[in-house]
Amino acid sequence: MSQLDLSRIQFASTTIYHFFFVPVTIGLAFLVAILQTKWYRSGNDEYRRLTKFFGAMLVINIAIGVVTGLVQEFEFGMNWSQYSRFVGDVFGAPLAMEGLAAFFLESTFLGLWVFGWKILPRRIHLLTIWLVAVGTLLSAAFIIAANSWMQHPVGYEINAVTGRPQLNSIGALFTNPVFVWGYLHVVLASLLTGAVVMLAVSAWHLRRASEVALFRHSASVSLATLIPVSILIMLVGSHLGVIETRYQPMKIAASEAQWNTCQPCSFSAFQIGGGNDDQNPTKIIQIPHLLSVLATGTWNGQVEGLNELQAQYEQEFGPGNYIPNVFIQYWSMRVMAYLGALMSLLALWGGWLLFRRKLESSRAFLFVATWAVFTPFIMNTAGWMLTESGRQPWIVQGLMLTANGNSPSVSTAEVVISLAVFLVLYAALGVVAVFLQLRYARRGLELEHDDESDSDADPRVPALTY
């Protein structure tokens, strides 16, 4: 395997890993802020206990999200130096702004929130968790703006001397349609992830009839979030598909394994065979017109096939293979969409039980809701594979090939070492994180008394939280 392949594997795996934690952070930050707001408004102590309980899970996730995010920032320069040199003028700006506008806000106010329970006035303390939530949202905005530029470069001109893109409109980065819809999609996916995690933990406790009154509250809050979010995300995702067909037709054609141009186009529920060398897979359950609707937003829209697009690209950019990995595209799209639909059903089922006041007695629902905890992580990973693998062979669509973006001065051996180090370290971190979260999710409420032990101390002194 070449240095380039290894660098790609490393970047892909560290990003996927990073994004296990990010959506939990964004989603839970909001849900915890909502729980604390409910406590602030009602004075009901159950909401205070829930805030602390889910707040501790939030903090564990933020810790790993932050340190694995550092890896992402360093990797641009370490593994993709030609890319960084080429795009820094445009791509660097949103990254720098992310740090200034979002990371400072997020981490400073998280410190205030965690340590400020007894020191800050209640109203200010409530404000700090909301600022953490806003920080996570801002951070996602800047990084998605940067990523959207790689999918559909806008707001730049090519410098005649260096041949590199130069920013000439910062506004264009944030009105890029790929950004607008992609960002909404990511925010909704994060809320969905947070809500499913909260629902799963609540369901686990309700099944054991432990603290029923308490976890009925958190189950309601998470369902109230999940119902609208799981439906909205499908609408937004489907519109994002239409946008991407416009700017990255290869991505969408590959996700349907559509080798030849069609009109109107049907959508296949499954296929047998297919992939990069097989242009005639056996498609199972074809739904007429559905691909036209998904890709173009019209009943009879035309979807260009991979073969036609390949011919166009060769004419425009010279000889080469411009077709992304069809197998990854086809299946990542289906995994994401089908699981997304299941999440809506789960949410509606839960909502109906809640309405009938049967939530805590439905063994079947509580069982399914507990195990649903894995689903958002699979969906998020599939979604990123769809979007990032679908951009290949480009690192910046139409401007730079991935093959030209790596670091010439870094040897294959060095990337082997770093990849091995990340695999071992991330595996170890993952084991500890899962172990701690499971332990905490089950027993967290029993451990509460810990932080009351120093209640006789000077209230101005921060508690020994760590």
Structure tokens at 350: 């839960």
CB of 387 to another protein, least distance (A): 22
Q: Whole-number minimum distance, CB 391 to another protein, in Å? A: 20
Question: Of 63, 342, 401, 423, which one interacts with another protein (CB under 8 A)?
Answer: 63
Residues 398-437 within binding reach of another protein (CB under 8 A): 407-411, 414, 417-418, 421, 425, 429, 432, 436
Decide: 151 and 244 in contact? Cβ < 8 Å.
yes
Q: How far apart are CA 339 and CA 356, in angstroms?
A: 26
The least distance separating another protein from the CB of residue 23, rounded to whole angstroms, comes to: 19
Going from the C-alpha of 410 to that of each of 1, 75, 81, the distances in angstroms are 15, 12, 9
The yes or no reply on residue 209 touching another protein (CB under 8 A) is: no
Nearer to another protein, 357 or 443 (CB): 443
Please tell me the distance from the alpha carbon of residue 95 to that of residue 406, in angstroms, as a whole number.
19
For 219, other C-beta atoms within 10 Å of its C-beta total 27
Chain residues 211-270 in contact with another protein, contact rule CB under 8 A: none
- The C-alpha atoms of residue 317 and residue 136 are separated, in whole angstroms, by 39
Q: Which helix (H) or strand (E) holds 395?
A: strand 394-396
Q: Does 208 interact with another protein (rule: CB under 8 A)?
A: no
Distance CA 86, CA 79 (A): 14
Q: Which of 16, 119, 231, 290 binds another protein (CB under 8 A)?
A: 119
For residue 84, state whether it binds another protein (rule: CB under 8 A).
Answer: yes
Residue 442: CB atoms within 10 Å: 14
Q: Which residues contact 343 (CB under 8 A, 6 or more apart)?
A: 192, 196, 226, 230, 372, 375, 376, 379
In the complex with another protein, the residue whose CB is nearer, 167 or 257, is: 167
Binding marks (x or -) toward another protein, 150..169, rule CB under 8 A?
---------x------xxx-
Binding test (CB under 8 A) with another protein, winner from 41, 43, 44, 73: 73
Pairwise CA distance, residues 244 & 254, whole Å: 12
- By C-beta, is 160 or 213 nearer to another protein? 160
CA geometry: angle 390, 10, 325, nearest 5 deg: 25
Separation between Cα atoms, residue 435 and residue 430, nearest integer Å: 8
438 binds another protein (CB under 8 A): no
Using DSSP, state whether 35 is helix, strand or coil. Answer: helix
**Residue position matching structure tokens 């992580």:** 377
State how far the Cα of 229 lies from the Cα of 244, in Å rounded to an integer. 22
Q: What angle do CA 59, 61, 65 make, to 5 degrees?
A: 115
Q: What's the rounded Cα separation, in Å, for the pair 44 and 57?
A: 21
- Which segments within 135-281 are labelled E, that is strand? 156-158, 165-167, 267-272
Minimum distance from residue 87 beta carbon to another protein (Å):
7
x/- site string to another protein, residues 170 to 199, per CB under 8 A? Answer: x-----------------------------
DSSP annotation of 303 reads: B
Nearest residue (CB) to another protein, 158 versus 378 = 158
Q: Enumerate residues 92-111 that contact another protein by CB under 8 A.
A: 92-93, 95-101, 103-105, 107-111
Residue from 1, 67, 158, 427 in contact with another protein (CB under 8 A): 67
CB of 447 to another protein, least distance (A): 9
Q: Please select the residue that binds another protein; options are 24, 26, 58, 112, rule is CB under 8 A.
A: 112
The C-alpha atoms of residue 405 and residue 302 are separated, in whole angstroms, by 34
Shortest Cβ 454–another protein spacing (Å):
4
Picking from 218, 190, 192, the residue whose alpha carbon sits closest to that of residue 204 is 218
Tell me the window of 87-95, 208-216, 272-280, 323-331 that interacts with another protein (CB under 8 A). Answer: 87-95
* Structure tokens, 78: 């370490």
* Span interacting with another protein, options 23-31, 302-310, 352-360, 458-466, rule CB under 8 A: 458-466
- Smallest separation (angstroms) from another protein to the CB of 91: 8
Strand partners, 284: 270
- Which residues 265-304 are close enough to bind another protein by CB under 8 A? none
What CA–CA distance (Å, rounded) separates 282 from 395? 32
CB of 17 to another protein, least distance (A): 12
Could you say which of 1, 70, 235, 431 contacts another protein (CB under 8 A)?
70
Least distance in angstroms from the C-beta of 108 to another protein: 4
Give whichever of 3 and 296 is closer to another protein, judged by the CB atom: 3
Instruction: Output the smallest distance, CB 366 to another protein, in A.
Output: 27
Q: Smallest gap, in angstroms, from Cβ of residue 425 to another protein? A: 6
Q: Is 359 near another protein (CB under 8 A)? A: no
Q: By CB under 8 A, name the one of 4, 12, 16, 59 that touches another protein.
A: 59
